[in-house]
Chains A and B, each alone.
Chain A
Amino acid sequence: MKEAEKTTQDGMPGQPFFDYWQSWYEKEWKPFFNMPQFGMTRYYQEHTNQNIDKYYELQAMLTEFSSLLCQPIEKSFQAVGADVFSAGAQDGKADAGKAYYSKWISALEKEYMTLFRSTEYVGCLNKAMKTLNDFIISRQTVLEDMLKLLPIPTNSEMDGLYKELYELKKRVRNLEKEQVQQ
């Protein structure tokens, strides 16, 4: 836990906490959601467990991503805060708000631009997208399991149909073009 409380100078502050959280989840909880299932309902249970697992991973990743996105806000306030307090102590200008806001928004923009070009951010964005995609795919599988019991076509079934329709239309178009050329 001591590791988790540290903040790094170069990397993301708070990263050790997220790493610790991740390893704790992987060690203590993840195995439960990935243990083999038995019996006739094994596939359904497996899909549901997978979905819960992916949901937790997504929540952890979104927290990490949001925390990264909040960093520039903190940094920009720090950068402008000192100015505001020192100037405020000298004279209480009622119309200084606009100037401070303008300074702050420029500082915020600059901080975001620095963050968005960093490898930490690009890595975190890719990880966030991966966990989001994993969760959506797994949720889709669970939903399709449920829909099997109802007279409602699933996305996979409709996709198959759309694919056939697409290919048929393309063939008809090509044939029409050939006919016109002849």
Chain B
Amino acid sequence: MVNSQTAVNPFATRLLEKFSHAQRKMQDGARNVLGSLDTRIAATPCDIVYTEDRVRLKHYRPVTPQRVKTPVLITYALINRETMLDLQPGRSVVRSFLDRGVDVYMIDWGTPTRKDRYLTIDDHVNGYMDSMVDVVRRRTHSQQINLMGICMGGTFSVMYAAMHPHKVKNLVTTVSPTNFDTEQGLLHIWLRDMDVDHMIEAFGNIPGDLLNFAFLLLNPARLMVDKYVGLLDNIEDKAFLENFVRMEKWIFDSPDVPGETFRQFMKDCYQKNLLIKNKMKLGDRRVDLNNLTMPLLNFYGRFDHLVPPEACERLVEVVPSRDATNICLDTGHIGIYVSSKCQKAFAPKIVEWLTEREMPPKPKRKPEKKVRAPQPQKNLFHEQVPMDIGATQLGVVPSDNPQHAQNV
């Protein structure tokens, strides 16, 4: 009897402790949930300086004297919203840029309705984007702008820069798919044989909720179970809860995607991989990546399950630019913008890279290793930046792709 008590009591005591700890945690959590939480997103002050149909151009109010002379135009994807770049004060790419003296403009694609279903990629790239670029150029009296693209917005930026190279001084692409012939990502596998025409016929525009469901299915164990277990685990932590709600607000705020744009993106990119083959057409014009002679900085995440490294890294190999750099960060698709460990390796690196390219061109020198036969052009830098060197200097783990390794 005594033996059995000594065996049971420690277990029961610990169990009781656990229960009382959980109870306290839930009480604190309830107080947090029912109390006042600061869950505002996109709080950095900005002005709407141009509107065309549903699309708006935001200009962020400077907080320090401008140090990078050429303005930066950020193009977000049509999926989810650009608010992700300004999710919270301490983890805001926009705020980081402003603090370092960058003049920041951003395209807000708005909320497409059924009347937008016929808008094509051409309308977005050569229509809206071109108008926005012209507005920024006019407002800042600049001949060229720095173009930065996020995810699908990066793919659009690549197309734009290839079709209007004279307007783009530097191109920064982040987690932007350009090579769709890969099996690394589930989306690439799932979409290969999807009947996109049938989908457009049924839906008109592709509903944001349908896309959200597809994204959740990419990793249901983590995104539908573990994430919320994590929330319960930390619910007594107010700051954690506020950040969690901010992320939830952003992630489920998904506008519909215009039908014709979705159709072309799926068929020409995901199914035929035309962009990287220089065969993609917008309207009646071909997107020729050989026009990408401007400096190019290409970021991607090693653990990105949406746009895997293979979908991003080939771009620097196919463009003629001799100043093309890949930087692979040890994070996922969203972590690159919001994770605390990337706050130093992402936005500051971009500003540093842009600042270096604000200086007068250096005298031409022979490149150490060419990605492709150079096409010299006036007023362009011809400095070869070995891939991943920037990442190494920053303490960010460089890509382990053998093709990259030989360039370091």
Chain A residues engaging chain B, CB cutoff 8 angstroms: 69, 72, 92-95, 101, 105, 108-109, 112-113, 116-117, 122, 125-126, 129-130, 132-134, 136-137, 140, 155, 158-159, 162-163, 165-166, 170, 173
Contacts and interface: CB of A to CB of B under 8 A. Distances in A.
A122 to B, nearest CB: 6
Interface of B: 11, 14-15, 17-18, 114-115, 117-119, 123, 127, 186, 189-190, 192-195, 198-199, 201-204, 217-222, 225-226, 229
A117 B201 contact: no
Name the residue in B18, B123, B219, B221 with the highest tally of chain A Cβ atoms < 10 Å from its Cβ: B221
A94 B195 contact: no
Given A105-B225, A109-B219, A112-B220, A136 B189 contact: no
A133 B18 contact: no
Nearest to B52: A173
A109 B222 contact: yes
Contacts of A72: 221
Given A105-B226, A116-B186, A129 B194 contact: yes
Contacts of B225: 105, 108
A112 B221 contact: yes
B229 A129 contact: no
B79 to A, nearest CB: 18
Contact of B199 (A113, A133, A162): A133
A125 B217 CA distance: 11
Given A105-B222, A116-B186, A159-B117, 6 more contacts: A105-B225, A105-B226, A116-B190, A116-B217, A136-B202, A155-B114
Given A105-B225, A126-B193, A133 B202 contact: yes
A122 B202 contact: no
Contacts of B127: 173
A165 B119 CA distance: 11
A166 B119 contact: yes
A129 B202 CA distance: 10
B118 A163 contact: yes
A134 B202 CA distance: 7
Contacts of B18: 94-95
Contacts of A94: 11, 14-15, 17-18
A13 to B, nearest CB: 19
A173 B127 CA distance: 9
A6 to B, nearest CB: 28
Nearest to B15: A94
A144 B204 CA distance: 15
Contact of A108 (B11, B115, B117, B221): B221
B118 A136 contact: no
A132 B202 contact: yes
Contacts of B192: 122
A130 B196 CA distance: 10
